[in-house]
Amino acid sequence: MHFLIIGGSDAGIAAGLRAHELDPSCEITLVLSDEYPNYSICGLPFFLSGETPDWHSLAHRTEFPGIQLMPNHTAESIDPIGKFVAVRNGNGAQLELRYDKLLIATGARPVQPNIEGFHLPGVFPLHTMEDSFAVHRFLEERQPKSAVIVGAGYIGLEMADALTRRGVHVTVASRTEAVLATVDPGYGKRVEVELEKHGVEVWNQVQASSIRATRDGLAVSGTKEFSRTADLVLVAVGVRPNSELGAAAGVTQGAKGALCVNRKMETTLPDVYAAGDCVETWHRLLNRNTYMPLGTTAHKQGRTAAENAIGVHREFAGSLGTQVVKLFDLIAARTGLREQEAASAGFCPFTAETTVWDHKAYYPGARELHLRITGDRHTGKLLGAQLLGHRNSEVSKRVDIFATALFHGMKMEELNDLDLSYTPPLSSPWDPVQMGAQFWTKAAGNRSSRL
């Protein structure tokens, strides 16, 4: 069998490796448009900050057993009847690649906002390795002293951290009420305090409209009389699915134009699968598809697609939107649904917020850990959690406990039964997760959580 994969990032590589594991005789060809297979896009801010000085170390892996890589080849069209893909190489020559099973893993690309001057020198997106090299060259050669970042999501804020570490004064222009819109605004405001503590200037509810080249640098202007001049401008306002190739072949599109797939990662075309940031994602709590581009999800979807392509029945278990980000000394994390999302989905949500010590207060270094927990008032079922804490507070461990509980549909009271580790320098006899669940149960007046 010939398994053809279009796309060399998380989903594509995960699929190729899994297919080879299951059937070493399977012929696997992977077409990628650049020459950087399976590089960590999430690691780009740390390369640019200097914390990871060698970009080569961003490669998740450098060996791809059983996979024939075709770098610098662009897939231009899919013929689902003839079962071949038209591909053009870096020299412009076209060839046809036939397949028995096909995986579309073309990922996503940055949203290009309607900003006048977006293509001026010194204005950059940040999504690919080539993007990072362009920004790195600018930083090394121009030694900018100031930057404006348009967008206050994960990449934008991580780059605010990265550029500040390089001695660049950063201004962040956010369209939302507070930065980091994946958490509630109150927690976003706490993130802003951390940013401002390190010299980052934050503007909220600002829509950048134009960038002009002036004698003093790049002048960025927008709503609410926003006006800043900087040496460098980074635009990071989200991504959209690279779904055009699949759509042109006849694959149905869904949320935000992403390719529709079932839980086997099958598209609406026979023998054609799709996975990663170009597809919809099954949400485990919502019980429906949504668009949720995450590297962790892409790995799982690619693996699932490969298993079904090889003939092993498997369904993608679904995502909960678990995310975590480090910004200076602060860690912010979330999983599951926020209150408004839960209400829209038909739950009866109640959210309780509490602050606990990350470990026993008598042991030196104890720090406050903020928890915002959402559950269903009627059933006591956990629906979601948001956490903020110091980078040494094991925030990622705690959000992963919540994510595991969500995955298994646990009720709030059942979190108390979890046998979690304890030693005074790291936790308490009741872990902060359990203390948060207990606080929620009391605040919600819930007495049916074990029923």
Q: Can you name the CATH fold of 123-235?
A: FAD/NAD(P)-binding domain (3.50.50)
**Percentage of the chain with pLDDT > 70?**
99
Mean pLDDT calculated for residue range 70-92 = 95
- Say how far apart CA 165 and CA 160 lie, in whole Å: 9
Sketch the domain layout of the chain as residue ranges. Answer: 2-41+60-108+240-310, 123-235, 323-444
For residue 446, the model assigns a pLDDT of 64
Selected catalytic residue, list 26, 42, 260, 278: 42
Asked if 2-41+60-108+240-310 and 323-444 have one fold, the answer is: yes
26 is catalytic: no
Mean pLDDT calculated for residue range 310-316 = 96
Beta carbons of 137 and 122 less than 8 angstroms apart: no
Residue-wise pLDDT for 153-203, tens only, equals 999 999 999 999 999 999 999 999 999 999 999 999 999 999 999 999 999
Res 450 pLDDT > 80: no
Pull the structure tokens for residue 118.
């977006």
Domain 323-444 has CATH 3.50.50.60: yes
**Percentage of the chain with pLDDT > 90?**
96
Mean pLDDT calculated for residue range 49-77 = 94
Residue-wise pLDDT for 411-446, tens only, equals 999 999 999 999 999 999 999 999 999 999 999 986
Q: Can you name the CATH fold of 2-41+60-108+240-310?
A: FAD/NAD(P)-binding domain (3.50.50)
Residue-wise pLDDT for 265-306, tens only, equals 999 999 999 999 999 999 999 999 999 999 999 999 999 999
Res 451 pLDDT > 80: no
**pTM for this structure?**
0.94
Q: Can you name the residues that pair with 233 across neighbouring β-strands?
A: 123, 148
Amino acid at 8: G
Pull the structure tokens for residue 389.
């804490």
Residue-wise pLDDT for 358-398, tens only, equals 999 999 999 999 999 999 999 999 999 999 999 999 999 99
Res 449 pLDDT > 70: no
Q: Which residues neighbour 63 within 8 Å (Cβ) at sequence distance 6 or greater?
A: none
Res 447 pLDDT > 70: no
For residue 62, the model assigns a pLDDT of 86
Res 448 pLDDT > 90: no
Distances (CA, A) of 198 to 160, 328, 428: 10, 8, 31
